[in-house]
């Protein structure tokens, strides 16, 4: 998740920008950059990796007197993490930093290229600065050129732009991505993509609204809204706690991470979907040569993603899969065959057991792929191929958005392989791609749903155990729901295939046994319903999650009526995550740092 800072004033701008970026490190990034404009012109520095690298590169640079500056930390989505792809992006006389996605960038890029503009990065952002300069060349005032540029771009953005044509101004715009403007009594002005970057530097801020844009200099701020009406400036005071600022108004990182799933899933999809094709630039033409089957190896939540994948891969790609707990696999003398593609899945890329199985597979000469959220992690460095999940940094120990993005990647990969193996035709793939595009909207948390889950949660604080049950991909989701609850509530919970309850666990059924029943309309509804009825008949307490009303349930959480089971999967995922979190909060537990657990398990 990228971070943005901006500064206009007379203090040393480099330090202010880099300090601001440091406060945004919690969002995760793989490169950083700053551009500072003084009378003498621009000074720009970019570096891969941590901010210390940027500091080293700019050691000998200092500003004297007035300057304007913009800075950025980049979490690669569009184009690899390289210095060229790092922001700020350069035109002939201007620089831009941007968070979000310019959806129509390809069309704009083609247009500009045919006009003779040369692009040097693979990012969507670069079109912003070239488009601005294109209009500027047509003899428009800088602000008019900025407005013209804004009228052409589509998607989500927070933008800061500086140009030598107006050396004392910063142009800004916000739509869909966060941006805050701050001032202090020394006439300094600041921008940040979160409070955290501004705390300690200014006291009063404006949280820009979607559609807001304008420019500022040392004296004035001109702010317009989406209807192009000049706005009266209404400042609010800035919070003082950095930690709570990093949580961006949420009570816990886990809550923030649940809420941002729709955003990060969009990042996971970006550049990887055309109308009829899945695009993985990370994979080459030889990727599937000689491969007959796939083994997944992982732990915890990542194991549940793998299990979900096995249903999708066999259904769509018609390829045999096996799913292994890495901690078991590494000690059971497994038979390894070079026709097996070995896929490890890991949020951190550092989990000791999973890493060890990757080494075993490599030593045995297997082709390896890692699906990971952390670039340059040990697994990414070791595997033959990497697909990044792009969830942004995940702080809550209980994984949420990493799971969501892993499943999205795996679903896309199953379709990618299906197309290579011709197990689905173009029409069928196009249909799935349409559904994939709907996933972000299905993971938006609405207030009503959250409030309902909050109210329900008070009935689930005791009992002698929880069973999360589901069929097909809803079985791994049931496992994941149970794991979430265990981790942060310390209540006993199991995930079980619905159809297996009658083979033993149903003996536990009584009113103190809580069953969270996943009842999708689009996947084995009648079968699952019968299984839940069997439990209901034995007086188990049932909380059903379904688009279809279910009168045998004690509690019912309704999800929307869709035409595809994977859309139901993602909506239910949000419900089980929120339910676990609300139960944990009511029990007074530390949601983000549950007892006995660590975020990255680097011991066996």
Min CB(64)–ligand M6R separation in Å: 47
Sheet holding 89-90, edge to edge: 89-90, 94-102, 155-163, 166-175, 213-216, 221-224
d(CA 370, CA 250): 32
Measured distance CA(589)–CA(488) in Å, rounded: 7
Beta carbons within 8 Å of 469's beta carbon, 6+ residues apart: 475, 478, 495, 496, 497, 498, 501, 515, 516, 517, 518, 528, 531, 532
Minimum CB distance to ligand M6R, residue 343 (Å):
13
Sheet holding 3-9, edge to edge: 41-48, 31-38, 67-74, 3-9, 189-192, 180-183, 204-207, 236-237
| The only residue of 299, 309, 408, 410 in contact with ligand M6R, by rule CB under 6 A | 299
Q: Give the Cα separation of 206 and 188 in Å (integer).
A: 14
Contacts to ligand M6R from residues 324-353, by CB under 6 A: 346-348, 351
Q: Quick check: helix, strand or coil at residue 567? A: helix
**Which window, 328-336, 357-365, 503-511, 594-602, contacts ligand M6R (CB under 6 A)?**
594-602
Residue 578 beta carbon to ligand M6R: minimum distance, rounded to whole angstroms = 15
x-marked contacts with ligand M6R along 429-468 as a string, rule CB under 6 A = ----------------------------------------
Among 2, 299, 372, 543, the active-site one is 2
Least CB distance to ligand M6R at residue 335 (A): 24
- Residue 57 contacts residue 224 (beta carbons within 8 Å): no
SS3 384: coil
Shortest distance, position 563 Cβ to ligand M6R, whole Å: 30
The SS3 of residue 369 is: strand
Nearer to ligand M6R, 123 or 377 (CB): 377
* Closest distance to ligand M6R from the beta carbon of 326 (Å): 8
- Helix axes 300-312 and 401-421, enclosed angle (nearest 10): 30
* Residue 398 within binding range of ligand M6R, rule CB under 6 A: yes
Q: Which is nearer to ligand M6R, 123 or 399 (CB)?
A: 399
Binding of residue 302 to ligand M6R (CB under 6 A): yes
Catalytic residue, candidates 318, 362, 431, 599:
599
In the shown chain, the binding pattern of residues 131 to 170 toward ligand M6R, with x for contact by CB under 6 A and - for none, equals ----------------------------------------
Q: How far is the CB of 543 from ligand M6R (least distance, A)?
A: 21
Which is closer to ligand M6R, CB of 47 or CB of 398? 398
Q: Would you say 538 or 599 has its CB closer to ligand M6R?
A: 599
Q: Which of 397, 469, 479, 513 contacts ligand M6R by CB under 6 A? A: 397
The residue (of 173 and 358) whose beta carbon lies closer to ligand M6R is 358
Q: Which residue is nearest to ligand M6R (CB)?
A: 300
Residue with tokens 């009266």: 232
**Judged by CB under 6 A, does residue 388 bind ligand M6R?**
no
CA 283 to the chain's CA centroid = 21
Asked if 301 touches ligand M6R (CB under 6 A), the answer is: yes
Which range of residues in 27-35, 94-102, 215-223, 300-308 is near ligand M6R by CB under 6 A?
Answer: 300-308
Any idea of the CA torsion for 65, 70, 74, 78, to the nearest 10 degrees? -140
Residues composing the chain: 604
Alpha helices (runs of H) in 50-169, residue ranges in sequence order = 51-57, 105-114, 126-137, 142-152
Torsion from C-alpha of 339, 345, 348, 352, nearest 10 degrees: -60
CA neighbor of 430 nearest in space, from 204, 276, 215, 229:
276
* Out of 71, 81, 300, 505, the residue judged to bind ligand M6R by CB under 6 A: 300
Judged by CB, which is closer to ligand M6R: 178, or 396? 396
Q: With respect to ligand M6R, which residue has the nearer C-beta, 11 or 600?
A: 600
Beta carbon nearer to ligand M6R, 73 or 357: 357
In the complex, least distance from residue 481 CB atom to ligand M6R, rounded to whole angstroms:
11
Q: Which of 543, 540, 529, 528 lies closest to 583, judged by CA?
A: 543
Shortest distance, position 322 Cβ to ligand M6R, whole Å: 18
The verdict on 266 binding ligand M6R (CB under 6 A) reads: no
Edge-first strand listing for the sheet containing 555-558: 493-497, 465-470, 513-518, 541-546, 555-558
- Maximum pairwise Cα distance, the chain: 80
Element of type H or E holding 41: strand 41-48
Q: Say how many residues touch ligand M6R, by CB under 6 A.
A: 17
Secondary structure of 275-333 as H, E, C letters: CCCECCCCCCCCCCCCCCEEEEEECHHHHHHHHHHHHHHHHHHCCEEEEEEHHHHCCCC
Residue 286: CB atoms within 10 A of its CB come to 10
Nearest alpha carbon to residue 78 among 60, 107, 98: 98
Determine if 399 is a binding residue for ligand M6R (CB under 6 A): yes
Rounded to a whole number of angstroms, the minimum distance from the CB of residue 466 to ligand M6R is 16
Is residue 599 part of the annotated active site? The answer reads: yes
Q: 3-class DSSP state for residue 195?
A: helix
| Closer by beta carbon to ligand M6R, 148 or else 601 | 601
For ligand M6R, the binding residues in 474-493 under the rule CB under 6 A are 483, 487
> Least CB distance from residue 73 to ligand M6R, whole Å?
22
The smaller minimum CB distance to ligand M6R, of residues 169 and 346, is found at 346
Least distance (Å) between residue 478 CB and ligand M6R: 15
Contact 277, 378 (CB under 8 A): no
Q: Which is nearer to ligand M6R, 279 or 598 (CB)?
A: 598
Rg for the chain (alpha carbons), in Å? 25
Rule CB under 6 A: say whether 306 interacts with ligand M6R: no
Are residues 386 and 369 in contact, defined by beta-carbon separation less than 8 angstroms? Answer: yes
- The residue with tokens 């955003």 is 263
Residues making contact with ligand M6R (CB under 6 A) = 299-302, 346-348, 351, 354, 397-399, 483, 487, 597, 600-601
Catalytic residues: 2, 599
């Amino acid at each position: 998740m990228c971070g943005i800072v901006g500064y206009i004033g007379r203090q040393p701008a480099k330090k202010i920008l880099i300090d601001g970026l440091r406060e945004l490190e919690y969002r995760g990034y793989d490169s950083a950059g700053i551009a500072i404009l003084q009378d003498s012109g621009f000074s720009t520095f970019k570096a891969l990796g941590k901010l210390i690298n940027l500091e080293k590169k700019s050691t000998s640079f200092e500003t004297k007197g007035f300057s304007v500056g913009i800075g950025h930390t980049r979490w690669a989505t569009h184009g690899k993490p390289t210095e060229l792809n790092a922001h700020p992006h350069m035109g002939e006389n201007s620089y831009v930093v941007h968070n979000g996605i310019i959806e129509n960038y390809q069309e704009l890029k083609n247009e500009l290229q045919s006009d003779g503009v040369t692009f040097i990065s693979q990012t969507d952002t670069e079109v912003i600065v070239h488009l601005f300069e294109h209009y500027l060349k047509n003899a428009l005032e800088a602000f008019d050129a900025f407005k013209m540029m804004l009228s052409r771009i589509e998607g989500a953005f927070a933008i800061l732009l500086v140009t030598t044509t107006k050396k004392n101004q910063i142009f800004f715009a916000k739509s869909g991505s966060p941006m805050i403007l701050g001032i202090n009594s020394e006439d300094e002005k600041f921008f940040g993509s979160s409070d955290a970057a501004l705390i300690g530097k200014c006291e009063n801020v404006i949280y820009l609204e979607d559609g807001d844009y304008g420019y500022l200099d040392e004296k004035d701020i001109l702010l317009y809204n989406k209807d192009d009406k000049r706005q009266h400036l209404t400042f609010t005071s800035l919070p003082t706690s950095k930690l709570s600022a990093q949580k961006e108004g949420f009570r816990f990182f886990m809550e923030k991470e649940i809420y941002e799933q729709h955003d990060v899933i969009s990042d996971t999809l970006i550049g990887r979907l055309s109308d009829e094709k899945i695009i993985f630039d990370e994979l080459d033409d030889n990727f599937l040569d000689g491969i007959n089957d796939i083994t997944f190896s992982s732990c915890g939540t990542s194991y549940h993603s793998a299990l979900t994948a096995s249903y999708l891969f066999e259904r769509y790609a018609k390829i045999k899969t096996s799913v292994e707990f890495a901690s078991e696999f590494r000690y059971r003398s497994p038979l390894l065959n070079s026709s097996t593609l070995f896929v490890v899945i890991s949020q951190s890329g550092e989990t000791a057991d999973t890493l060890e199985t990757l080494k075993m597979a490599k030593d045995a000469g297997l082709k390896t792929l890692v699906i990971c959220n952390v670039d340059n992690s040990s697994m990414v460095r070791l595997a033959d191929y990497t697909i990044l999940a792009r969830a942004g940094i995940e702080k809550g120990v209980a994984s949420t958005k990493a799971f969501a993005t892993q499943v999205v990647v795996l679903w896309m990969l199953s379709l990618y392989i299906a197309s290579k193996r011709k197990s689905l035709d173009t029409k069928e793939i196009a249909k799935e791609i349409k559904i994939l595009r709907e996933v972000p909207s299905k993971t938006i948390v609405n207030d009503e749903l959250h409030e309902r889950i909050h109210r329900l949660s008070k009935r689930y604080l005791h009992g002698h155990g929880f069973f999360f049950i589901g069929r097909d991909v809803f079985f791994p989701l049931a496992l994941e729901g149970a794991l979430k609850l265990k981790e942060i509530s310390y209540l006993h919970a199991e995930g079980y295939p619905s159809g297996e309850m009658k083979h033993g666990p149903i003996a536990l059924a009584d009113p103190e046994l809580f069953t969270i029943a996943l009842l999708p309309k689009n996947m084995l509804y009648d079968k699952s319903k019968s299984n839940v009825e069997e439990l209901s008949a034995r007086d188990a307490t049932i909380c059903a999650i379904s688009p279809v009303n279910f009168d045998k349930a004690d509690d019912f959480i309704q999800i929307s009526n869709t035409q595809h089971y994977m859309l139901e999967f993602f909506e239910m995922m949000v419900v089980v995550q929120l339910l676990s979190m609300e139960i944990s909060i009511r029990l007074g537990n530390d949601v983000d740092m549950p007892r006995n657990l660590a975020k990255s398990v680097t011991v066996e």
